[in-house]
Amino acid sequence: MLAKRSSLVLFGLLFARGAGLHAGEAPRQREFLFTYSVTAQAEPGTWARIWLPLPPSNEDQEVAIVNRHLPPKALLTTEPKYGNQMVYVKHRANEAGEIRLAVTYRVKRYEIVAPRAAAVDEQSLLERFLEPDAKVPVGGKCLVLLEGRQLPMEAVAAARMLYDLVYDHMRYAKDGTGWGQGDAEWACQSGYGNCTDFHSLFIALARHARIPARFEIGFPLPRERGSGTIAGYHCWAKFYAPDQGWIPVDISEADKNPALREYYFGHLTEDRVVFSMGRDIDLEPRQAGPPLNFFVYPYVEVGERPLPADKLRYEFSYEDLLRE
């Protein structure tokens, strides 16, 4: 997968209709506008480099840019490790010491219902999803959850056992510090956290069982149709079964909604949009700082240093196009 770069004026609409629908039943759909806005603060006239994640069109969702407030030389770039796309901007702060950017997307998101037609992935990419990440070791302290247990040989059955182990071990909470980093060993030891912690633990255990597993991150939408702002990100995981392709799990949502425990093994609602996948991400062009733990919020550098969090403001909002 080669890195590529092109002017935003060339890529226009990004529609690519999904083709992985399961036979016999149409998944639910949701169509909405999603606006991603950021304001970076720096000394007037200072150059900043800014990267914004760009949601992909794939079998789970269709995406088109319908409005953008970006400098003329903004670029669409693609990092080579996972193929995540992003908007890259190099721009000066204005007289007020600000750089303001915004992109509005039209998104059609599909409910995911497994099993469905198996996706064909490059073997090298599948192997990447068996390797450790900085905060997701393969093995180590997480294996305490498997003591005295024998995993089934079949991938889906083994993944279901791991799903239940994580569900029973973890509780959704944002207490103290340490949560939200997607640190699998911290999650195993603490027994609580947010979606990054739940799914990092699941991915670590799946990879130990030689089941390719990947991390996806984006934003949730309220189930009720309408419009409003979105407080923050949401993430989930997918594991790979040779006869079924990528199968989703959302264990943190199952923990918050126990009646949906069965649903969230093999299903995802249409009330979300994915922006990127993977961990330890090097951007394109390469950032001066270390790889990103995950990529969903804007990343900004001034003078080859990450912009402090208190100098960066962002807002995410949605508006449903069809209201039930």
Long-range contacts of 208-211 (CB under 8 A, 24+ apart): 208/138, 208/139, 208/142, 208/143, 208/146, 209/151, 209/158, 209/162, 210/130, 211/155, 211/158, 211/159, 211/239, 211/240, 211/241
What does the alpha-carbon distance between residue 125 and residue 61 come to, in Å, rounded to a whole number?
A: 21
Taking residue 288's Cβ as centre, other Cβ atoms within 10 Å add up to 10
What share of the chain has pLDDT > 90, as a percent? 85
Tell me the pLDDT of the chain averaged across its residues: 91
Same-domain check for residues 220 and 89: no
Q: Can you give the pLDDT at residue 27?
A: 83
Q: Quick check: 295 pLDDT over 70?
A: yes
SS3 content of the chain, % helix, strand, coil (to 5): 20, 35, 45
Query: Any idea what DSSP says for residue 297?
Result: S
Confidence at 2, pLDDT banded by 50, 70, 90: very low
Instruction: Render pLDDT for 10-27 as a digit per residue (tens, 0 to 9).
Output: 333 332 333 333 444 678
Same-domain check for residues 253 and 131: yes
Same-domain check for residues 101 and 207: no
Q: Can you give the pLDDT at residue 139?
A: 79
Residue 236, classed as helix, strand or coil, is: strand
Same-domain check for residues 260 and 179: yes
Instruction: Render pLDDT for 279-291 as a digit per residue (tens, 0 to 9).
Output: 999 999 999 999 9
E strands, 74-207, in order: 75-78, 85-92, 98-110, 112-113, 171-172, 192-193
Instruction: Render pLDDT for 116-139 as a digit per residue (tens, 0 to 9).
Output: 665 656 777 889 999 999 999 997
What does the alpha-carbon distance between residue 151 and residue 264 come to, in Å, rounded to a whole number?
A: 20
Q: Quick check: 247 pLDDT over 80?
A: yes
Q: Can you give the pLDDT at residue 200?
A: 98
Q: Can you give the pLDDT at residue 119?
A: 61
Average confidence (pLDDT) over 298-322: 96
Q: Quick check: 39 pLDDT over 70?
A: yes
Q: Quick check: 237 pLDDT over 90?
A: yes
What does the alpha-carbon distance between residue 163 and residue 146 come to, in Å, rounded to a whole number?
A: 12
Confidence at 324, pLDDT banded by 50, 70, 90: low
- Provide the number of structural domains found in the chain: 2
Q: Can you give the pLDDT at residue 208?
A: 97
For residue 258, what are the contacts with CB-CB under 8 A and spacing of at least 6? Answer: none
pTM: 0.91
Q: Quick check: 323 pLDDT over 90?
A: no
Same-domain check for residues 43 and 104: yes
Same-domain check for residues 255 and 306: no
Average confidence (pLDDT) over 245-270: 97
Query: Any idea what DSSP says for residue 138?
Result: S
Q: Can you give the pLDDT at residue 10?
A: 32
Same-domain check for residues 20 and 138: no
Q: Quick check: 234 pLDDT over 80?
A: yes
Q: Can you give the pLDDT at residue 183?
A: 98
Same-domain check for residues 194 and 295: no
**CATH for 161:** 3.10.620.30
Q: Can you give the pLDDT at residue 124?
A: 77
Confidence at 62, pLDDT banded by 50, 70, 90: very high
Same-domain check for residues 82 and 154: no
* Domain span at 288: 4-111+278-320
Q: Can you give the pLDDT at residue 14?
A: 33
How far from chain centre, in Å, is Cα 323? 26
Q: Can you give the pLDDT at residue 125?
A: 80
At CA 170, angle to CA 268 and CA 279, rounded to 5? 60
Give the bridge partners for 241, in sequence order.
245
Q: Can you give the pLDDT at residue 58?
A: 94
What does the alpha-carbon distance between residue 78 and residue 87 come to, in Å, rounded to a whole number?
A: 9
Average confidence (pLDDT) over 243-260: 95
For residue 259, what are the contacts with CB-CB under 8 A and spacing of at least 6? Answer: none
Q: Is 168 exposed, middle or buried (0-12, 13-18, 19+ CB in 10 A)?
A: exposed
Closest of 163, 157, 189, 160 to residue 176, by C-alpha? 189
